[in-house]
Amino acid sequence: MGDDANEEDLALMARVARGDEEAFARLVEKHQHAVLGTVAKMTNQSSESEDIAQQVFIRLWKSAKRYQPTAKFTTYLFTITRNLVFNATRKKSRRKEHSLDEQEDDWHKTVEDQNHSARPDQSLVDAELQQVVDQAIASLPEKQRLAVILRRYEGMPYEEISAILDLSVSAVKSQLFRARTTLREALPPYLKE
């Protein structure tokens, strides 16, 4: 996201701090897909991800008067997202409610049709591979998983990811390296088929 987009976000957030609901609606509209996509990839649950994404924007509204633009707006937004997602996953692990149905839910498939004339059986193979990749990402520890999602799907620079995760840039790179290593070890059986 460029400086112009960040300046627009900061101006909107200043208006939100004064209670401007239209500015808030614009911020939600502008960032809801990225937040929901990130939450969905982190939680691997469609119903819970919508609730968490909604909570992100509720927190954003409630904290608007206290907001200080010390970093990019998206850093602030995804820090709120991180906190809510990590809290939800910790609560879930304490309750130990990992059902097979939730783990196999494929609502978040993001397979892109790179070849519009692909054979139907190739599309099925691609969809299955994407599901395996998504499950492998979902099995990563939460900081590694969020680092991968923010880097790969949101295209964030290391510096912004480091601010969101409250880690140094080198620690983010280390998290990504470990995640890639884990994914390489988990995926070869599927890639050889």
Q: Which position has the higher pLDDT, 123 or 155?
A: 155
**Comma-separated ranges of CATH 1.10.10.10 domains in the chain:** 109-193
Distance separating alpha carbons of residues 179 and 148, to the nearest angstrom: 7
Q: Is 89 exposed, middle or buried (0-12, 13-18, 19+ CB in 10 A)?
A: middle
Q: Which position has the higher pLDDT, 193 or 7?
A: 7
What pLDDT is stored for residue 108 in this prediction?
Answer: 38
- Place 120 in a pLDDT band, splitting at 50, 70 and 90: low
For the domain covering 1-99, report its CATH number: 1.10.1740.10
Q: What is the mean pLDDT of the chain?
A: 82
**Comma-separated ranges of CATH 1.10.1740.10 domains in the chain:** 1-99
Mean pLDDT of 147-161: 93
- Per residue in 57-113, pLDDT (tens digit) is 999 999 999 999 888 999 999 999 999 999 888 877 666 544 434 443 433 333 343
The two tokens of residue 120 are: 């139907």
What pLDDT is stored for residue 31 in this prediction?
Answer: 96
Predicted TM-score (pTM) of this structure: 0.72
Distance of CA 41 to the CA centre of its chain: 6
Pick the CATH number of 109-193 from 1.20.1600.10, 1.10.10.10, 1.10.150.530, 3.30.1540.10: 1.10.10.10
The two tokens of residue 126 are: 């691609």
Q: How far is CA 72 from CA 134, 162, 165, in A?
A: 28, 12, 14
Mean pLDDT of 120-146: 80
